[in-house]
Amino acid sequence: MNKKWLSYFIAVILLGLFCFPVYSLFFANGTGITYGSGGTYINTPNEAIDSLIIQGAQQFLDAYKNTLAVMQTTENPVAAKSVAAEIDTALSGSLTAVKSAITTYEKLIECAKSIPYNPSIIDQLKKFDFAGFFKSNEGYINPVVFETVTAYLSAGDIRGLYSRLKSEMEGIACLLEKIYPVINSGQPTPVEDIWKLNQAFSQTLLLGQYTSQVFSTLAR
pLDDT above 80 (res 128) = yes
Does residue 20 lie in a domain region?
no
> Could you list the residue range(s) of the whole structural domain that residue 202 is in?
3-11+43-218
Question: Is the whole-model pTM more than 0.85?
Answer: no
How far is 136 from 170, CA to CA, in rounded Å?
Answer: 32
If one compares 44 and 99, the residue with the highest pLDDT of the two is 99
How far is 76 from 81, CA to CA, in rounded Å?
Answer: 9
- Cα angle for residues 122, 201, 158 (degrees, 5° grid): 10
Does residue 65 lie in a domain region?
yes
Does residue 30 lie in a domain region?
no
Q: Is residue 14 within 8 Å of 94, Cβ to Cβ? A: no
Does residue 35 lie in a domain region?
no
Does residue 24 lie in a domain region?
no
Q: Quick one: pLDDT at residue 18?
A: 40
How far is 141 from 177, CA to CA, in rounded Å?
Answer: 30
If one compares 7 and 150, the residue with the highest pLDDT of the two is 150
Does residue 195 lie in a domain region?
yes
